[in-house]
Chain A
């Protein structure tokens, strides 16, 4: 079996990549993609700890991940709707040009 460390390191690197996307890109959709990558890295952590934990039969990690995936789905829908609404107002998806909260 692959040791738990390896999964956690891969998950940490994926979280880093997602953070990189959020912090360095200016396109709103790419920022959302970065958020999705970070959420998935966290899910990988949940599953890895569940598999290596003392009571995998209780399925706590799997259930938590299931709920986490559902919430991530809701987040993606609302986030993309916000991107579309903001795009309609500013005519650009560039986050740097969105500088005010109202007209």
Chain B
């Protein structure tokens, strides 16, 4: 189990690093998809099999394709090779991110007494219980999320629609 964990987390970290470091945007998106798949593997290792499936469907299926479409619509896949890909003050960004990792995240994890073993050894498949939970105590949350997704998708369409075209539609 530790071997599977090491392989999956190594894939996740390396592909995430490649996703934010590669110059070619399409390659970055593909490594991002590899990162999502590795994370789904970690979810299965933690016995959250339904969420692993959701992770693949939503992230690899929807978000990855959405990012590819955005790249396609903005037309600059690689950019000028001589052009810098880093922002101004990228070194400060690196220093800030490293400071967050080394002073906030890692000490908090390493200083806290955390369980070495899970309290419950095996967990039954949880899809049925998840569905029942969404129907009984979390119905309001589910409906709010549904409303939010609808509003967000409508908003995305309204934002992305081209202004010239909408003016033409008003005239006609």
Residues of A within 8 A of B (CB): 1-10, 12-27, 29-30, 32-34, 36-37, 40, 43-44, 47-48, 50-54, 56-57, 59, 61-63, 65-67, 69-78, 80-85, 87-88, 92-93, 95-96
| Nearest CB in chain A: distance from B152 CB, A | 3
Q: Does B81 contact A (CB under 8 A)?
A: no
Chain B: residues with Cβ within 8 Å of the partner, total of 85
The answer to whether B46 and A7 have CB atoms under 8 Å apart is yes
Closest B residue to A3 by CB, please name it.
Answer: B116
Q: Is the CB of B76 within 8 A of A13?
A: no
Question: Nearest 5 pairs between A and B by C-beta?
Answer: A23-B93, A21-B20, A74-B152, A81-B156, A12-B105
Contacts of A92 in B (CB 8 A): 76
Q: Are A20 and B94 in contact (CB under 8 A)?
A: yes
Report whether B74 and A93 are in contact in the complex, using a CB–CB cutoff of 8 Å.
Answer: yes
> How far is the CB of A33 from the nearest CB of chain B, in Å?
5
- A76 and B66 contact, Cβ closer than 8 Å, known pairs A13-B101, A33-B19, A40-B39: yes
Residues on the A chain within 8 Å of B43, using CB: 44, 47
Main SS of the interface on chain A? Answer: helix
B interface secondary structure, majority: helix
State whether A2 touches B45 (Cβ < 8 A): yes
Contact (Cβ within 8 A) A16 B98: yes
* Extra pairs beyond A24-B86, A73-B62 (18, CB < 8 Å): A3-B117, A4-B114, A17-B17, A19-B100, A20-B94, A36-B32, A43-B55, A48-B46, A59-B129, A59-B130, A65-B51, A69-B55, A69-B58, A73-B63, A74-B152, A84-B159, A87-B74, A88-B163
| Docked-complex contact B13 and A8, CB < 8 angstroms | no
Which residues does B use to contact A, with CB under 8 Å?
A: 1-2, 5, 9, 12-13, 16-17, 19-20, 25, 28-29, 32, 35-36, 39, 42-43, 45-48, 50-51, 54-55, 58-59, 62-63, 66-67, 69-71, 73-74, 76, 79, 84-88, 90, 92-94, 96-98, 100-101, 105-106, 109-110, 114-120, 123, 126, 129-130, 133-134, 138, 141, 145, 148-149, 152-153, 155-157, 159-160, 162-163
A-chain residues with CB within 8 Å of residue B153 when the two chains form the complex = 74, 77
CB atoms of A20 and B97 under 8 A apart:
yes
With A74-B149, A80-B66: A18-B20 Cβ-Cβ less than 8 Å: yes
